[in-house]
Chains A and B, each alone.
Chain A
């Protein structure tokens, strides 16, 4: 599938609702293509120098939505946007999930569930296993169909169903590493701080399998290297 051309547009906030401790920021879509699940957009955070990378959570004909965890000054500024305010959005960017899979199983952890609603829709609502650090965080599981939920101290890797699955996962680094131990061929969506999102700064390089990869160009979804 050809990658959609990234565009930059000023969009209007049409919704901003709490989902547990997170916010679902909904914006008008304008001419922006949604791209593939796992691709991301750079969202201009009010009052901040650099935009913030957010994977697309849900897509409607006139709307794009992003699930945001207010953890820093940029994400907090985004979570405080009101309906009717505007922000600049740039995307879709990066490499998303490969959708040609036979027996998909979605695995998500914490705010890593963000791209899974769109991914679930694109794959025809496959089963999902989601892990959260508290019952309140686990409220985000409502966004993902057919989700089995575990809350710490139980981990997603203890809840993976038996059998052969094509795993597509997004979550914190230790979770991704643990998932890869169990499912070496998994498609994993990684995260890193980004300045530009389009390959200009090389700031988002992460070391995976001993190689530095720019997550905004080679990722954020990386397939495990052939063993």
Chain B
């Protein structure tokens, strides 16, 4: 089990000490060409989470590889690069540009940013294009706002993905208290934070059952207990997003909370929790225990 950051939720070059407190750093999404991102206002707090429309601001793959990547490698933390494009050719080019870079441990395919136009082609076609361009582990980051996340996970697995990142934000809207106009300049934004947790758990649960693939789970994780639940639903690793904004010390806190949770369950390794929500001996034991205590 690794603790990562959600792509877009951390800039390791500005906050290296936060990146070093994680097991793996995931970059903000890199696109073929540089992007300024969305105009301000880009963020809005809601009662149950936050909306963002950063819009994939990034220096483009060429500058990323030549300038940012060598500096990121100095962090001493495994680097996953998130990539996003607008066609299957984009995904192939992005993966090809990273394929021979030793600094890059894995590539996350952002197939679901709610703040930019959707790429042409099906998710499966985009993964096939990426698969053809690199031997690196490929994680497909999916939106939970689909008719069947299980079916999509199977499509992505058959297209050659090595793992899944579940879930991306889902589209939301916030209105300004005084003007009743959209708060964000781009009107819609991606909803993250506590509201996303049950949605993420459902997606992880379904995708684990449908594919058995390794899953990086994220969406509203803010405590060690949340990590435990994500693992039980089927995540093999867990990423932190919105919680890092208000609490840059969250990784250390969550680790110690998780250790206490595991201790109370008499479980030694976090990895042993994976999939427990789906039944098996552990679940039977818990049920038995409940019967005995009645």
Binding site for B on A (CB under 8 A): 8, 42, 44, 48-51, 72-74, 88, 90, 192-196, 198-207, 212, 217
Does the CB pair A200–B42 fall under 8 Å?
no
If A49-B45, A203-B43 touch, whether A212 touches B11 (CB-CB below 8 Å) is no
Does the CB pair B50–A200 fall under 8 Å?
no
Cβ–Cβ < 8 Å partners of A192 in chain B = 40-41
Task: Classify chain B: how many residues form its interface, as a range.
Answer: 20 to 34
Residue from the set A72, A193, A203 with the largest chain B CB neighbour count within 10 Å: A203
A167 to B181, CA, bound (A): 35
Quote the shortest CB–CB distance from A202 to chain B (angstroms): 5
Quote the shortest CB–CB distance from A6 to chain B (angstroms): 9
Does the CB pair B37–A195 fall under 8 Å?
no
List 12 additional contacts besides A192-B41, A201-B245; criterion CB under 8 Å.
A44-B246, A51-B245, A195-B43, A195-B50, A195-B245, A196-B245, A200-B248, A201-B9, A202-B11, A202-B54, A204-B42, A212-B57
A202 to B130, CA, bound (A): 28
Residues B238-272 near A (CB distance < 8 A) = 242, 244-249
Please list the 8 inter-chain residue pairs (A to B) with the smallest Cβ-Cβ separation, ordered nearest first. Answer: A199-B14, A203-B43, A196-B245, A195-B245, A203-B42, A200-B10, A50-B45, A195-B43
Binary flags per residue of B1-26, CB closer than 8 Å to A gives 1, else 0: 00000001111001100100000000
If A192-B40, A193-B44, A212-B36 touch, whether A49 touches B50 (CB-CB below 8 Å) is yes
Cβ 8 A contact of B40, one of A88, A200, A201, A207: A207
Cβ 8 A contact of B54, one of A49, A74, A201: A201
Residues B191-224 near A (CB distance < 8 A) = 193-194
A192 to B40, CA, bound (A): 8
Binary flags per residue of B28-69, CB closer than 8 Å to A gives 1, else 0: 100000001101111111000110101001000000000000
Quote the shortest CB–CB distance from B99 to chain A (angstroms): 27
Binding site for A on B (CB under 8 A): 8-11, 14-15, 18, 28, 36-37, 39-45, 49-50, 52, 54, 57, 177, 193-194, 242, 244-249
Residue from the set A42, A192, A202, A207 with the largest chain B CB neighbour count within 10 Å: A202
| Chain B residue with Cβ nearest A211 | B36
Cβ–Cβ < 8 Å partners of A193 in chain B = 41-44
A45 to B128, CA, bound (A): 46
Residue from the set B14, B43, B49, B52 with the largest chain A CB neighbour count within 10 Å: B43
Quote the shortest CB–CB distance from B168 to chain A (angstroms): 15
Residue from the set A194, A198, A204 with the largest chain B CB neighbour count within 10 Å: A198
If A49-B194, A205-B57, A212-B57 touch, whether A196 touches B244 (CB-CB below 8 Å) is yes
| Chain B residue with Cβ nearest A212 | B36
